Amino acid sequence: MKKLADAIDRINIWAGQVASFIILALIATVMYEVVSRYLFNAPTRWCSEISQYLQAGAVLLGGGYCLVSDGHVRVDILHGQFKPGAQKLVEILTFLVVLCFTFAMIWQGAETSYEAWIHDKRSMTILEFPLFPSMVLVPIGAALLLLQSLGRALRALDGLIGPSQGLPGKE
């Protein structure tokens, strides 16, 4: 179980690194717009749309990385009061909740992105950007989040049935 959880961690760390480069592209795009608009009084028509797509990509690809780095919000006031075994059980139950939500996002996101690809749907802006690339990030991001939640649940399960190793992600 630990090897599978570690492999999932590596996948999400890689996705987080991709998201960090997307953030750099987002920063460059916004800086270009600011300089263009305020220094040269020549605003662009494309920067806003591109920055929205980049932001969506960074958020969707970074969700699993946020979980692997323990950056998601948790009610630590309650969670910290639980005994280690109860904390592991909560982690496993959390996976089941995440499974429900991410399954719906994967299913509907895949269906919507497939329709956008088949029908060559495009944005209704000056760029007429194809919508498929941004839409396919929804099921990919949900799958990464689901995988990372599974990795945490596997570590918690391993901690319940094996020697106690502390909280998942806190080794």
Query: 20-72: per-residue pLDDT in tens?
Result: 999 999 999 999 999 999 999 999 989 999 999 999 999 999 999 999 998 87
Tell me the whole-structure pTM to 2 decimals: 0.83
To which residue do tokens 């499974």 refer?
99
pLDDT tens-place string over residues 93-104: 888 999 999 999
Which tokens sit at 100?
A: 């429900």
In terms of phi and psi (left: phi > 0; alpha: psi -120 to 50; beta: otherwise), the region of 120 is: left
Which tokens sit at 136?
A: 């396919």
Residue 122's SS3 state is strand
Which tokens sit at 122?
A: 């495009």
Distance CA 36, CA 34 (A): 5
